[in-house]
Amino acid sequence: MPTIEDPIVHIDGISKSFGRTVALQKLDMKIDPGEFVTFLGPSGCGKSTTLRILGGFAQPDSGRIVLGGEDVTRLPPNKRKVNMVFQDYALFPHMTVTRNVTFGLELKRMTRDRIAARVDELLSFLELDAFRDRFPDQLSGGQRQRVALARALAPDPDLLLLDEPLGALDARLRAQVQLELKDIQRRTGKTFFFVTHDQDEALTMSDRIVVMNQGRVEQDGTPEDLYLRPKSRFVAEFIGETNLLSGPVRHAEDDRVAIDWFGMQIEGRAFDRTPRPGDVVTAALRLEKVGFYDARPETGNAVPGRVVNRVFKGSRTAVDVRVGDAGAAILKAYVDRDVPDDVWLGWESANLAVLQD
């Protein structure tokens, strides 16, 4: 029995190339039992390659996959305690819902009674009782997705892989399914390895997000970490909406970094490595962290500016504000009330994250 300290999955320095294209560069990662881990990134970032290597559908050029203490790198998919929810669900069209879910159990040589009990349990757990005898083409997108999930959970895998399984659903259904999926993961206590390019999905469901770019890990952390304390420009821009402020460092002490930004003195936090004075750095500021004031506020940072553009978005308005020497820079922000053209903008230093690149 693996204890809670042992990782259920250990990805040990795997690399993979397709011809000249490098898909993964020495990826190292440990995943704890019961974690909901999301690999997030644009297409071609290596997230799907990692998923296929974990599933046994691709072999790494180097490195090992250790699953529950056992090296499974060379094991084919049918010999691994890993199951997958495919992007197109891959439900068997000639089998009913029940037969689809039964498929993996029959191959485990379980007794008939135990199979029936397990199928009943899963179908009621996923609210599919009413559709037992339907064929996949008689189901809606959301129902198919649940059948795919039931089928993958049936053999009781150590690790469940999910390959962008919400991509085929419409926006409203997707939001509902995200919450359902998170709930299912919590109730089953299974380790979920989820792959997506959709930041909303990642932020909503994950315990931990791994942002991938060009075969490397950009940042690995909780959704809050990634959103509020991005390490790189890539992460800051990929997740949420952000202002990027660049300028030379004036002073740096511990994690406090003073930056000269178009003649304005602003202060941010370096969460990882503190830069030296003179370095040109970029800092990320989330749009909704910028506050609007009539007079100079007491916040860590305050700059005067002039509103040059307003876009009404319903519950709030997106505003562009010219700031700095001769209005050389523009800050984007959200505001939920009417603001005059001449305003003071303020934000706390902790909300200005100094990036590593």
Partner 1 sequence: MTRNTRILMSIIYWAFVVYLFVPLVLMILMGFKDSKFIGFPIKSWTLDWYVGVFRDTEVISVFIYSTTIAIASTAISLTVGTWISVLLAGRSFFGRTVILGLTILPAVIPGIISAISFRIFARLLGVETGMFAIIWAHAVHNVPFVALVVMARLATLPASHTEAAMDLGADRFVSFFRITLPYLKPALIGAGVFCMLLSFDDFVRSFFLGGYEPTLPVLIFSKLRSGMSPEINAIATVVLIMTAVLGIWAERSMRRMGKGT
Query: Interface with partner 1 by CB under 8 A: which residues?
Result: 55-57, 76-78, 82-84, 86-88, 90, 92-94, 103-104, 107-108, 135, 137, 151-152, 154-155
In whole angstroms, the minimum distance from the beta carbon of 123 to partner 1 comes to: 16
Residue 102 or 351: which CB sits closer to partner 1?
Answer: 102
Residue 83 or 213: which CB sits closer to partner 1?
Answer: 83
In whole angstroms, the minimum distance from the beta carbon of 83 to partner 1 comes to: 6
Distance CA 183, CA 174 (A): 14
Question: 280: buried, middle or exposed (CB in 10 Å: 19+, 13-18, 0-12)?
Answer: exposed
- Residue 297 φ then ψ, to 5°: -85, 170
Residue 38 or 102: which CB sits closer to partner 1?
Answer: 102
Calculate the CA 163 to chain-centre distance.
13
Residue 44 or 155: which CB sits closer to partner 1?
Answer: 155
By the 8 A CB rule, do 84 and 55 touch? yes
Strands 208-213 and 36-40 turn out to be parallel
In whole angstroms, the minimum distance from the beta carbon of 100 to partner 1 comes to: 9
Residue 141 or 304: which CB sits closer to partner 1?
Answer: 141
Residue 107 or 117: which CB sits closer to partner 1?
Answer: 107
Query: How far is CA 268 from each of CA 229, 242, 243, rounded to the nearest angstrom?
Result: 11, 14, 13
For residue 182, the surrounding DSSP H or E stretch is helix 171-188
DSSP 282-323: EEEEEGGG-EEESS--SSSEEEEEEEEEEEE-SSSEEEEEEE
Give the type of residue at 38.
T
Query: How far is CA 63 from each of CA 50, 125, 210, 223, rounded to the nearest angstrom?
Result: 12, 38, 19, 28
Residue 83 or 185: which CB sits closer to partner 1?
Answer: 83
In whole angstroms, the minimum distance from the beta carbon of 157 to partner 1 comes to: 9
For residue 43, the surrounding DSSP H or E stretch is none
In whole angstroms, the minimum distance from the beta carbon of 194 to partner 1 comes to: 16
Distance CA 38, CA 55 (A): 15
Distance CA 9, CA 333 (A): 41
Residue 76 or 340: which CB sits closer to partner 1?
Answer: 76
- Residue 17 φ then ψ, to 5°: -125, 150
In whole angstroms, the minimum distance from the beta carbon of 191 to partner 1 comes to: 16
Residue 52 or 289: which CB sits closer to partner 1?
Answer: 52
Give the type of residue at 226.
L
In whole angstroms, the minimum distance from the beta carbon of 343 to partner 1 comes to: 54
In whole angstroms, the minimum distance from the beta carbon of 104 to partner 1 comes to: 3
In whole angstroms, the minimum distance from the beta carbon of 168 to partner 1 comes to: 12
By the 8 A CB rule, do 32 and 4 touch? yes
Number of residues assigned to the chain: 357
